[in-house]
Structure 1
């Protein structure tokens, strides 16, 4: 490989992974025209087409896919080697890329970030807020924040919040028109606010457990969204029953704005954890973030 090929290979990998010249340009901090020039020069030198371009999409060719499979691990090894060098710096520095679900970003990460970044001015933080499951290794995130039970066993996890409980709630007025459900099976007679997963497109099945018995219920309703705050707003508006977290509606329950049902079917479950690959080298920057977010009862 010639010396001039390496920067162009980095460009190719970014475009192939992002499936977009525009997104790759933003990621690398260069113009789309510069990327296009680099790719054309690389393909001309190699004598093979690596990307299939249309007016609407970009995708690797068969040759490009083969190159990417080899190039990806090699680039990851180089990145790790550079990270190890940076880790020897006395002061935590570098960029932390995190994938965080929406509620954790609002409640646990966001409030603590200002103090963390004032304390560590050499650390840059990039947060992708996304509720679906994310492969942090493939997408090169340093860490993620998710509910404990959804984290793979081969990850290292650090608790950042207490246990949670589900809460099924509606307004008092709603229950003047509908009898309170006594078991999850009674939900079929109710109007429910549903959550749709963006990644899979599937509706969330309401989860219940009592005396070792586990039930997953497909709730019926006329309102569906992909935002927890909007679901609570819908419940407050009387649209129907909403499945949410107890900690998200504590004030509404205390004020009487919402009424809880099926509480005996909602045992505690593991709360939010920061997690990262077990084989991942913990840089000073990540270690500093872990200590800033670690849950201390």
Structure 2
């Protein structure tokens, strides 16, 4: 078999990841016809069908999936070595991709990155908002942000924010009509605004704790979101009780738009951590991001 063109393997990886020739061509900046021809050349040279094509999407065959699993970590290693070489430049440079939730971005990450990024114009940061638990190695992220309790044990974890808690809130109008719950179990008789966890596909079961007694309550209502800010807006407009991070709803409580209920049942959760595989930590650009995000305060 003739020597394989590494460029063909890279393009195959992008098509397989995107599951679309159209999206892959746009990402690579090439014509779709050129990309399709290149993949056909690779398949002809290997004597294997690597992709199945339909009118709607593209999927890897068994051979294609095996090839993808083989080349993905090796291409990542090459990219990391090239990034390490750029570290020889006078200033840190390179691209950093992070996956995180909207709450982590707004409450911790962006306030800390905003003051320092202008000092490092050669560092590019891509922030992908997602509430799912992604595999950062397989999906090409340099790091992710999660609550401490959710970080995999084989990752390096750096605390970047303090402990925080969820609080139950509702509009004065809703409480005037339906009354205020006095115990978490009262919530089953109320209209609540649900949060869907995309990773598991299920609805978040509200967690409460008081004097060592832990309770989990399944609530129901007209609305379900996967975004805390949308939940807050719905609560302000009287659509029910929401269970949201305290630090992003405080101004609504202070203004009287929302009223907090079940305050003594709202427990603290371990704060956000930046997590990443150990091979990333020696890249100067990545160290800049880690140092900027690191929380130097004592734990709550």
TM-score by length of 2: 0.91
Q: Distance in 1 between matches of 2:22 and 2:113?
A: 29
Partner of 2:74: 74
Q: Distance in 2 between matches of 1:201 and 1:77?
A: 33
Verify the 8 A CA contact 1:154 1:278 in the aligned structure 2.
Answer: no
The answer to whether the aligner puts 1:106 opposite 2:106 as a matched pair is yes
SS at match of 1:169: strand
When residues 124 and 26 of structure 1 are mapped into structure 2, their CA distance, relative to the original with a 3 A threshold, is farther
* CA RMSD across the alignment: 2.0
Q: Distance in 2 between matches of 1:191 and 1:197?
A: 19
Show CA shifts across 1:170-220 (max 9, x none). Answer: 122222222322221111111101112334431111111222232221111
When residues 67 and 232 of structure 1 are mapped into structure 2, their CA distance, relative to the original with a 3 A threshold, is same
Q: Distance in 2 between matches of 1:27 and 1:79?
A: 17
Verify the 8 A CA contact 1:52 1:61 in the aligned structure 2.
Answer: yes
Question: Relative to structure 2, which stretch is displaced further, 228-237 or 20-29?
Answer: 20-29
Partner of 1:290: 290
Q: Distance in 2 between matches of 1:27 and 1:105?
A: 25
Q: Distance in 2 between matches of 1:289 and 1:75?
A: 23
Q: Distance in 1 between matches of 2:206 and 2:31?
A: 46
Show CA shifts across 1:241-267 (max 9, x none). Answer: 100011111112222221111111112
**What is the aligned length?**
297
Q: Distance in 1 between matches of 2:29 and 2:111?
A: 29
Partner of 1:28: 28
C-alpha displacement at 1:146, in angstroms? 2.0
Partner of 1:278: 278
C-alpha displacement at 1:83, in angstroms? 3.2
Partner of 2:217: 217
TM-score by length of 1: 0.92
Partner of 2:158: 158
Partner of 2:181: 181
Q: Distance in 1 between matches of 2:33 and 2:98?
A: 29
Q: How does 1:117-266 map to 2 (within 5 A)?
A: 117-266=117-266
Q: Distance in 1 between matches of 2:140 and 2:130?
A: 15
